[in-house]
Amino acid sequence: MFAPFIKNNLKFINDYFSLLLNNNKSTFPQSIILYGEDIFAQYLLALNFGKILNCQNTSEFNCNCINCNWITTNSHPAVITVSKLDFKPDNDNSKTVISVKQTLALKNLLATTSEYHRIFIICDADIKTPNKNEKEKISILKSNNFSFPYEDEEHNKFWIPKGLNQKVFQEESANSLLKVIEEPPPRTSFIFLTKDKTDLIETIISRSQCFYVPSKYMQDNDLTIIFDTLKFYPEINPFEIGDIATTLINQSDTLNLEPEELFTKFQQFIKKTALNNTDNPTYVAKMLDDINTLNKAQMQLKSYIKPQAALENALFSIYKNWT
């Protein structure tokens, strides 16, 4: 399903979305924020989503159907990059921002029907001579059978993706998209690429599912800390939530584990449990909800909510999800 780079480096994302997309493609979120240092990996992932959602065959990574081939060459009519350089209408002379003219053009496009699952990849970009690090990332994209919207090998000028910020994606443009993000036509998804969620306005964040894309994958798969405390998951005694959170936070302190890593371990534990329940789609769907709850908890950590409080909130949401 996913490109080798994603399989090998973004194991959690690979497993989570494989589970979700195998279960039911129509549950793919209508708005996603990918955040983390590696914007190249985010762009690759966004293209790969477009490929899986539009493949005419079984979404194998090596598929050569017309949709997969179009996406491979970055020329699919419904998998569209929107940046200050891309998807510019003719009457738009702005060069430094994603303009309101662009968001209007996007909305006009959505007013027409489409046979495809439409994906809008919204990011910042530059065309430049790549440095060593960027060169390496470009070759990773190519070896994974994807291309950028623009490249000029002869003059060594390449399209380089960058994370959105509020300077390039200003409030007026962002706000003009809110309604379509909230209630898009069927089979339409927006994917925002950014380094940090604070680079986007709150109204976009609150309408999106947020996924952290790590730049180096945590190899340590020891889930003992979670298993010892939550072996009865998904059963959680609501009166023990405070104690469970305290135990987990104290133990991760002792193990020198960052709260963010603790939450990721919790997600890996749920994913493992889900993989043991693939014959029960209702269970799997609820477990995917729980994983998403922990995504939100990770976002809360970024807005300086104390780990104990974020974890208690998450545990309570999980408890509610199963009652």
Cβ proximity to Zn ion: between 116 and 319 the closer is 116
Size of interface with Zn ion, in residues (CB under 5 A): 5
As a whole number of angstroms, the distance between CA 74 and CA 80 comes to 8
Length of the chain measured in residues? 323
Site string for Zn ion, 56-75 (x = CB under 5 A): -x-----x-x--x-------
Q: Which stretch binds Zn ion (CB under 5 A): 21-29, 50-58, 175-183, 242-250?
A: 50-58
Q: Residue 65 or 223: which CB sits closer to Zn ion?
A: 65
CB of 45 to Zn ion, least distance (A): 17
259-275 and 281-302 helices, crossing angle to 10°? 170
Among the candidate windows 52-60, 82-90, 154-162, 285-293, which touches Zn ion by CB under 5 A?
A: 52-60
Closer to Zn ion by Cβ: residue 45 or 297: 45
Q: CB of residue 82 vs Zn ion: minimum separation in angstroms?
A: 24
- CA distance to 71, 75, 121, 240, per residue, from 39 (Å): 18, 20, 12, 40
CB of 56 to Zn ion, least distance (A): 5
Residue number, 189 or 252, with CB nearest to Zn ion: 189
In whole angstroms, give the CA distance from residue 289 to residue 284: 9
Sheet holding 118-122, edge to edge: 79-82, 118-122, 188-194, 31-35, 209-212
Q: How far is CA 158 from CA 20, 88, 128, 148, in A?
A: 34, 18, 5, 8
Residue of 238, 141, 191, 223 lying closest to 35 (CA atoms): 191
Closest to 172 measured CA to CA, from 98, 92, 85: 98
Give the residue among 244, 242, 260, 268 at the shortest CA–CA distance from 297. 260
Q: Measured from the CB of residue 57, what is the shortest distance to Zn ion in angstroms?
A: 5
Stretches 25-33, 55-63, 80-88, 256-264: which one binds Zn ion (CB under 5 A)? 55-63
- Binding of Zn ion by 55 (CB under 5 A): yes
65 or 100: CB nearest Zn ion: 65
Strand, helix or coil for residue 21:
helix
By beta-carbon proximity to Zn ion, the closer residue of 145 and 267 is 145
Amino acid occupying residue 197: K
The CB-of-1 to Zn ion minimum distance in angstroms stands at: 11
Q: Which is nearer to Zn ion, 52 or 270 (CB)?
A: 52
Query: Considering only residues 209-268, where is the footprint of Zn ion by CB under 5 A?
Result: none
Give the footprint of Zn ion on this chain (CB under 5 A). 55, 57, 63, 65, 68
